[in-house]
Amino acid sequence: MVLLLTIACPATPPTDSEGTSPAEELTYYRDVKPILDRSCVRCHTDAGTAPSFADPLSVQALSAAISSYVQAGTMPPAAPDPACHDYENSDRYVLASANRETLLGWAEGGAALGDPSTQVDGPGVIPSIGPFDAELRGEPYQPEFGNDGNDYRCFALPVGNAGAVYLTGLEALVDRPEIVHHVVLFRPSSVSDSQRVPEGFSCSGFGQSDWSVVGAWASGGTPLTFPEGAGVPVEAGAELILQMHYFNSFEGADQIADQSGYGLLVADSVEREVSTMPFGPTGFSIPGESEAYEVTDRSRYRGADVDIVAAFPHMHQAGVGFHMTVESDPEQCVVDMNGWYFHNQLLPVFSDPVELKSGDRVSTTCVYDNPEAGAVSFGEETGDEMCFGFVWVVPSE
């Protein structure tokens, strides 16, 4: 570059042969927009939790910030590494290195907008699995945020099934994404009258110990569909618990009423029942002022041979890494995350299942930073910590 500049006569504008031609310059419309569409706008929209990328001029104004966040690896937020075990739409969650180079090169080269007629659009939103056989939705609810900006609210909602059925597909129906950080659907062992109220009930952390997770969603999360002929059993007249995590990130957020829910695909019978199992250490404590503190559980699985079709890593705010493997021969990587962003809790649905056989050990490791003086202990409140790898399994064929 320096050499080219010294050769070029200051009076003559650069020509194509000098490598500074507008045709080779990275531009927003042609080079950057498709990458942002693919990897960023699930959160950075007008109706999202992050500053909108809808206006080209505001993206241009953010180019230095884009460069520094991308360089630091904080954006896009950490997601499971597809090199460990590939999952559906992983190319949306992990920035390919060529795309990373393009974003950095564009910002360094002056962040030109380019010619709108050259605009390239990236992939659109992930398609819905609807029309649904059933929809779970409560009454509109206006969050009551605590001082930390959070409101965890649970609603007991009837599936409306007269007989036993199976859920073969689940999709979060997020009404007001600008205030919704995540949604979890649980199957409780029982529901009390005090929980069966239209305004729902407060349920901080990860629900109650007798609830098992059925579905989960965070910004851009994919619908959960099970392999052909497999489904989660739901008894006649069942109620499920919809847990909403609302977050107060802008002026007026507390004036919004949300009516999110879940769309369900339902079958009367299936060949294979889907169940969920939690793995991970409990009852641990993270010492104060610790960095990269690891807790691990290695449980031996005893049960029928199964295929793991999806997994949901779960920690709270102190998490910085998550690793899950099946210690079979050869070892199978299930989820590997270096980094953790509490507001990006994804549920990878595996392209190929992971085999789990009776006698295999499942190793679950969580890594935490705790800069505070006091210890952080295991618990369900947001200020406590958890380390769970929930897996969705079907009996092997």
Q: Where do contacts with ligand HEC occur on this chain (CB under 6 A)?
A: 39-40, 42-44, 49-51, 62, 65-66, 69-70, 75-77, 95, 219, 343-344
What type of residue is 211? Answer: W
Place of tokens 């910590």: 385
Least distance (Å) from ligand HEC to the CB of residue 220? Answer: 6
- Of residues 219 and 276, the one with the C-beta less far from ligand HEC: 219
- Of residues 103 and 232, the one with the C-beta less far from ligand HEC: 103
Least distance (Å) from ligand HEC to the CB of residue 390? Answer: 20
232 pairs with which residues across the strands?
167
Least distance (Å) from ligand HEC to the CB of residue 314? Answer: 16
- Of residues 69 and 201, the one with the C-beta less far from ligand HEC: 69
Least distance (Å) from ligand HEC to the CB of residue 154? Answer: 23
Least distance (Å) from ligand HEC to the CB of residue 62? Answer: 5
Residue 284 CB-half CA count within 13 A:
20
- Of residues 332 and 344, the one with the C-beta less far from ligand HEC: 344
Angle between helices 97-108 and 63-72 (to 10 degrees): 140
Least distance (Å) from ligand HEC to the CB of residue 9? Answer: 38
- Of residues 67 and 225, the one with the C-beta less far from ligand HEC: 67
- CA separation for the pair 116, 126 (Å, rounded): 25
Given strand 319-326, what is the order of strands in its sheet?
Answer: 290-300, 361-370, 319-326, 332-338
- Of residues 143 and 353, the one with the C-beta less far from ligand HEC: 143
Q: Beta-carbon neighbour count of residue 337 at 10 Å?
A: 23
307-329 burial, b for 16+ CB within 10 Å, e for fewer?
A: bbbbbbbbbbbbbbbbbbbbebe
Least distance (Å) from ligand HEC to the CB of residue 90? Answer: 13
Least distance (Å) from ligand HEC to the CB of residue 40? Answer: 3
Q: Is residue 154 within 8 Å of residue 208, measured between CB atoms?
A: no
- Of residues 5 and 61, the one with the C-beta less far from ligand HEC: 61
- Of residues 195 and 249, the one with the C-beta less far from ligand HEC: 249
- Of residues 49 and 276, the one with the C-beta less far from ligand HEC: 49
Least distance (Å) from ligand HEC to the CB of residue 60? Answer: 12
Q: Is residue 147 within 8 Å of residue 248, measured between CB atoms?
A: no
Least distance (Å) from ligand HEC to the CB of residue 101? Answer: 12
Least distance (Å) from ligand HEC to the CB of residue 102? Answer: 11
338-360 burial, b for 16+ CB within 10 Å, e for fewer?
A: ebbbbbbbbbbbbeebbebeeeb
- Of residues 96 and 164, the one with the C-beta less far from ligand HEC: 96
- CA separation for the pair 89, 91 (Å, rounded): 5
Closest CA to 79 of 352, 321, 327: 321
- Of residues 90 and 276, the one with the C-beta less far from ligand HEC: 90
